[in-house]
Structure 1
Amino acid sequence: MDWLSVLPALVALAVAFYLWSRTSRPKNFPPGPQVVPFVGNILSLGRTPHLTIARWKAQYGDVLSVYDGRKPMVILSDFHTVKKVFADEAVTGRDDQSSIVIDASTQKDYGLVFSQGELWKVHRRFALSTLRDLGMGKNWMEDAIVYEVEEICRFLKQTNQKPTNPKVQLTNSISNVICALIFGRRFSLTDPKFSRLTSLIVESLEGFGWDSAAQAFPILLWFPNPVRRRILKARANIRTMTAFFQEQVDDHAGVDKQEGVQDYLFAYQAEKEKQEGTNQSKKSLFDDPQLLASLSDLFGAGTETTSTTTLWAFIFMVENPEVMRKVQEEIDGAVGRDKVLRNSDRALLPYTEAVILEVQRCASLVPLGIPHRTNQDITVDGYTLPRGTLVIANLFSIHNDPRYWKNPEQFDPMRFLDADRKLIRPDGFAPFSIGKRACLGEALAKMELFLFIANLLRCFTLKVPPGHIVSRENYATSIVLSPTPFELIFVPRT
C-alpha cells in the first residue's frame, strides 16, 4: 500500500473525527436534541429560538443542552434552578468568541456586559455605586425623566390624532435620560444625528442574532453573503457609536466640574485618577477603552430595553382596551389626569404598576438572557457542566411556566395583586435576569417604565388606525423581542 497516497484521506478523517467529537455530549452532560456534526443545533433553532427551545424543554426537561455549532450550551428553564446557579461565582463568565466583538475597537472583553473576571467585578461595583450616587430614585433623576415624558407627550399631541409610529421619538426620549446620567446633557428629539445613533442600537442587536452562524461557519466571513453583511454592519455600527461617545468624552473634558459627582464621566475620571495615584506600578483597570465600552453598554441597554418595553405596553393596551380603561380610571381617581405623575405616586396606583409588571412578563423582552460561561466544572441537578460551558436562563419559558402562572398565555395584571389589591412579586418573574450579573440599572428602569407608561396613558387613549393590525404575534427576534413597526392614533384625554 502506498501510504503517501492515503495520508491526505487519513488526515481528513482525523480532522473530521476531532470536529465531530467537539459536538458530542460529554459524560453526564444534560440531554438534548440530536447534534449534527460541525453544525450543532443551529439549523434546528430556526428564526424563533425561544419557541423551539420551549418545545425541547417539554421533551428533555428543565435542564437541557444544545450546541451552537461546536459550542456546548446548557439551558435552564426552572426559576429556582436559575436563581441558584446564577448566584454562583463560577457561572459569571461571558462568551468571548463573538464574531462582532473582536478587538478593542469593538470593545472585546471591555465594558459592563461582556467583561469578566476582575475587570467585571471592579466595574460592576463602580457602576452600581456611581448610579446610586448620581441619584437613581432621587429628585434630579426623576426631574430629568419627567422632562422627557412631557416632551414626548407634547410631540404626540402635535400629531393631531394622525396615525403615528412612536418608536423614534420614544427611543430618543428614553436615550436622553441615559445621556443626562452619563454625559450631563440631552439632545433634541428631532436631532438627526442623535436619531441615527439610537437606530444603530437596534441594528447592532439584530446583528448579534447572526453571530452564531458566523461562529459556526467562519468561512461565511470570507465572501459576500447575508451573514457577512450583517456582521460587518454590526461591527461598523459599534465603531460609529464608539466614535460618538469619544466625541462626548472630548467635549466633556472642557466642562467645569462642580462639587460632588455630577455625571458618570466625572465619576469615572475621578476614579481613574485615584487608581493611578494609588497603584502606580500596576496597570489601571480604568482606561479609555473600558470607559467607551461602559458608556456604550449603559447607553444601549438603558435605551433599548425601556423603549421596547414601552412599545410592548402600547400593544397590550390596544389588545386589551378594558385594561387601559382601568389604568386610566385608577389614575383619574387616585391622582387626577391633569397632574404629571411622579415616582411617589406609584404607591397610589397598584393596578397600573401591576399592568407594567404583566407587560414585562408577557413581552419577555430578552427571552434567553445574556449567556453566562462557567469558569470551572460545576454540577447542576446532577449533571456535570465542564469549564467553558455556556449557561442560558430560559426566561421566556419561566415567564410562561404554568407552575408559576395560571393561564400564562393570557394578559392578566391581577396575578400581581393580592386580595387586598396590594402588589405581590410571585416566583417565576425575572425581567431583569437573576443573580450576580442581573441588570445593574434595574432601579432606574423601573422608575422610567412607570413614569413613561403611566403618564402616556394618563394623557392619551390609544387606538389602532382603521385597516391596521397591531398584534403581540408580530415581532422580530434577536437578543431582544422587538415589535414590528406599527402606527397608533394617540387621542388626547381632555
Structure 2
Amino acid sequence: MSDLTFVLGLALTVFMTVLFLQWLLQNKEKKYPKGPAGFPIVGHLPLFGKYPPKTFLKWWNSFGDVFSIRLGSWNTVVVNGYNAVKAAAEHPDDAFSGRPNFLTMEILSERTKEDRLAFGNFSPVYLKQRKLASKALRMFTSKRSEVIEELVTSETNVFVDILVKKYNRNAGLIELDVQTLVTKIIYQFLYGRGKTVEVERHVKTIIEFLEEFNELSGNGSSLDVLPWLQYIMPWKVEAIRKNTARSDDLVTEQVHQHYDTFVPGNIRDVADAIIASDADDEENKDRYVLTRARLNLTLADLQDAGVDTTHKTLLWLFLYMAKFPDVQEKVFTEIKDIVGTNRSVMLKDKPELVFTNAVLLEVMRFVSQVPFSIPHYAMKNAKIQGFDVDKDTVVIFNLYSVHHEISFWGDPEIFRPERFISDRKSLDKEKCNHIFAFGRGRRRCVGEILAQMNLFISFSNVMQKCKFIKPADEQLHITPIPGLVYTPKPYKVLVQERN
C-alpha cells in the first residue's frame, strides 16, 4: 500500500468518524417515537392488513399517540387521538403543513408546472391560492344560496323519481345514480347551469376520470411510497398521466369560457367567484400572481375531490338508512313534523332538524371514509407531544382514531346518532368539534361549507320523499373497501316513495 493510499484512507476514516460523532451529538438529546418492527425496502406496508384503520388502532394502543413506521421509502410518523392531531395540524409554525413530493402529485401538476390546492406544497403562493378559494366559496354560498338550494333540490327531485321508478319493485345497485346526482350538482356549482347536453357530456367525463383514477391509485398509490416502481411499471405512470389530462382539459375549457364571458358583479358560479376574488385582491397583487393554470387546478381539486367524497358520503348514508330502518323513520318523522311534505327542505330548516344533522355527523364519524389525512410533510424539525420529528418526515394524521377514541366517545363502535344531541335537544358543540371529516388546520378542506350545504339539502330532501329498504336476501355490509376514499361494498336496496 502506498503512503498516499494510506493517508487518503486515514483521512476518510477520520472524516466519517467526525460526521458520526457530530450526528450523535446532535441527536443524543432527541426523543423519537417508537413503532412496530417492519421489513427492509417495503417497510410496514405488508402489515397494514385488509382494514388498515384497525391495525393502526392496535399500534396506537401499543405505542401511544405518536408512533413511527416506514411507508415504503419514506420515514413516517403517525399522529393519533384528538389532542395530538389537533396540536400537530394547528402547529404554530405550520411545521407539518407541507406535502411530500410523491410521484402522483408530480404527475397531477406536471402539465401546468403549477401546484394543486390540495396536493401542492405549503408556500406563500399556496396561502394566497387558499385565501382566494375560501373567499370565492364564501361569496358564492352567501350571494347565491338560493341558487344552491334550487339546484340541489331540483336535481334531487329528479334523482328520487329515477330511484323509485327503477327500484320500487326490484332491488338494485344505486351507486351510479348517486354518483351522477352529485357530479351534476357539483359541475353546475362550479361552472353554471349549462345546456343539458354539455352537462351530461362533462358529467360522464368526470365520472370516468374518477373511476379510472381510483382504480389506478387503489389503497394509496404504490408508486408514491415505492417510487422505483415507476421503472418497473411505466405503463401505470402513463395511464395516470393520460387520465389526468382528460380532467384538466375539461376544467381548462370551462375556465377559458368564464374569462371570456366574465362580467364584474355578476357571479354565476364558483368559477366566476374565483376570478372575481383574484381581481379584487390588491394586497398581494405584485407579490404573488396566480396564473390561470393555478386557478384551473383549484377548480380541478374542488371538482374531483368534491364529487368523490360527497357521492360516497351519500352512498354511506343511504346504506345506513336501509341498515337501520328505525333511524331512517326518526329522520323522516322529524322532517315531516318540522318541514312537512308540501315543500322541500331548505337551508333555513337546518337548525331545527337536530336529529337529521346528528345522523349526518354519526355516519361521518362511524365510517371515517377518509381515515388518514392526505399525507403531510415536516418542513422543519419540530415536536409532537414531546417527540422529535425531523425535517422531511411524512406525517399522517389518523382521523379514524379521533372518531373512535374510547376516552371521549365511550362506545365508538356503536352506531348511535343520539350521542350528538345534548340534554337541551340541540347539537352538542363539543362532540361536533371532534369530527375531523374535512381535516384540520391550514390544510382543512377548503370546500367544506359547500359540501355540507350540498349533503344536508340532498340527504334531507331524499329522506322526505322516499325510503330505502333492505331486501330479505341482502346483507348490507358496513365494513368499507379501503381506498383513497373508503367506499361501501356494492349493495342493493329497494326504494319506495313516501305517501
Normalised by the shorter chain, which TM-score bucket? 0.7 to 0.9
1:168–1:195 CA contact under 8 A, matched in 2: no
Q: Structure 1: which amino acid aligns with 2:497?
A: P
Asked whether 1:214 is paired with 2:230, we answer no
1:105–1:239 CA contact under 8 A, matched in 2: no
Asked whether 1:246 is paired with 2:252, we answer yes
Q: Structure 2: which amino acid aligns with 1:453?
A: F
2:183–2:203 CA contact under 8 A, matched in 1: no
* CA distance in 2: counterparts of 1:339 and 1:75, whole angstroms: 48
Name the % identity: 26
Report what 2:61 is aligned to: 58
Report what 2:476 is aligned to: 470
1:271–1:286 CA contact under 8 A, matched in 2: no
Report what 1:488 is aligned to: 493
Task: Check 1:99–1:112 CA distance in 2 against 1; reply closer, same or farther (3 A cut).
Answer: closer
Task: Check 1:279–1:455 CA distance in 2 against 1; reply closer, same or farther (3 A cut).
Answer: closer
TM-aligned CA deviation for residue 292 of structure 1: 2.0
Q: Structure 2: which amino acid aligns with 1:43?
A: P
Report what 1:166 is aligned to: 174
Q: 1:180 aligns with which of 188, 191, 194?
A: 188
1:86–1:92 CA contact under 8 A, matched in 2: yes
Once the two structures are superposed, what CA deviation does each residue of 1:255-310 show, in whole Å capped at 9, x if it has no partner? 35263433333344445566799857x6x531132122111100012211111111
* CA distance in 1: counterparts of 2:188 and 2:355, whole angstroms: 30
Moved more, 183-192 or 476-485: 183-192
TM-aligned CA deviation for residue 378 of structure 1: 0.6
TM-aligned CA deviation for residue 362 of structure 1: 0.8
Report what 1:8 is aligned to: none
* CA distance in 1: counterparts of 2:178 and 2:393, whole angstroms: 38
1:341–1:451 CA contact under 8 A, matched in 2: yes
TM-score by length of structure 1 reads 0.87
Asked whether 1:362 is paired with 2:366, we answer yes
Which gives a bigger RCO, structure 1 or 2 (Cα 8 Å, sep 6+)? 2
1:182–1:263 CA contact under 8 A, matched in 2: yes
Q: 2:126 aligns with which of 109, 120, 144?
A: 120
TM-aligned CA deviation for residue 441 of structure 1: 1.6
Report what 1:330 is aligned to: 334
2:108–2:241 CA contact under 8 A, matched in 1: no
Equivalent residue of 1:90, what SS? Answer: coil
Asked whether 1:401 is paired with 2:409, we answer no
TM-aligned CA deviation for residue 183 of structure 1: 1.2
Task: Check 1:167–1:306 CA distance in 2 against 1; reply closer, same or farther (3 A cut).
Answer: same
Q: Structure 1: which amino acid aligns with 2:53?
A: H
TM-score by length of structure 2 reads 0.86
* CA distance in 1: counterparts of 2:195 and 2:52, whole angstroms: 37
Once the two structures are superposed, what CA deviation does each residue of 1:201-245 show, in whole Å capped at 9, x if it has no partner? 243244334655224444432345xxx655543332211101111
Q: 1:308 aligns with which of 283, 305, 312?
A: 312
Once the two structures are superposed, what CA deviation does each residue of 1:333-363 show, in whole Å capped at 9, x if it has no partner? 2221232111111122111111111111011
Q: 1:203 aligns with which of 183, 207, 212?
A: 212
Equivalent residue of 2:312, what SS? Answer: helix
Q: 2:96 aligns with which of 91, 94, 104?
A: 91
Report what 1:266 is aligned to: 272
Report what 2:444 is aligned to: 438
TM-aligned CA deviation for residue 77 of structure 1: 0.9
Report what 2:11 is aligned to: none
Asked whether 1:33 is paired with 2:36, we answer yes
Task: Check 1:194–1:176 CA distance in 2 against 1; reply closer, same or farther (3 A cut).
Answer: closer
Report what 2:10 is aligned to: none
TM-aligned CA deviation for residue 52 of structure 1: 1.8
Moved more, 210-219 or 60-69: 210-219
Task: Check 1:369–1:155 CA distance in 2 against 1; reply closer, same or farther (3 A cut).
Answer: same
Instruction: Please give the residue correspondences for 1:17-32 in structure 2 after superposition, counting only pairs within 5 Å.
Output: 28-32=31-35
Task: Check 1:279–1:450 CA distance in 2 against 1; reply closer, same or farther (3 A cut).
Answer: closer
TM-aligned CA deviation for residue 31 of structure 1: 0.7
Task: Check 1:110–1:359 CA distance in 2 against 1; reply closer, same or farther (3 A cut).
Answer: same
2:362–2:415 CA contact under 8 A, matched in 1: yes
Equivalent residue of 1:481, what SS? Answer: coil
* CA distance in 1: counterparts of 2:67 and 2:127, whole angstroms: 29
2:139–2:273 CA contact under 8 A, matched in 1: no
Report what 1:44 is aligned to: 47
Q: 2:203 aligns with which of 191, 194, 207?
A: 194
1:63–1:76 CA contact under 8 A, matched in 2: yes
Task: Check 1:138–1:215 CA distance in 2 against 1; reply closer, same or farther (3 A cut).
Answer: closer
1:93–1:372 CA contact under 8 A, matched in 2: yes
* CA distance in 1: counterparts of 2:420 and 2:280, whole angstroms: 45
Task: Check 1:331–1:177 CA distance in 2 against 1; reply closer, same or farther (3 A cut).
Answer: same
TM-aligned CA deviation for residue 413 of structure 1: 0.6
* CA distance in 2: counterparts of 1:329 and 1:394, whole angstroms: 36
TM-aligned CA deviation for residue 456 of structure 1: 0.9
Say how many residue pairs are matched: 470
Report what 1:413 is aligned to: 417
Moved more, 361-370 or 426-435: 426-435
**Backbone CA RMSD of aligned residues:** 3.0
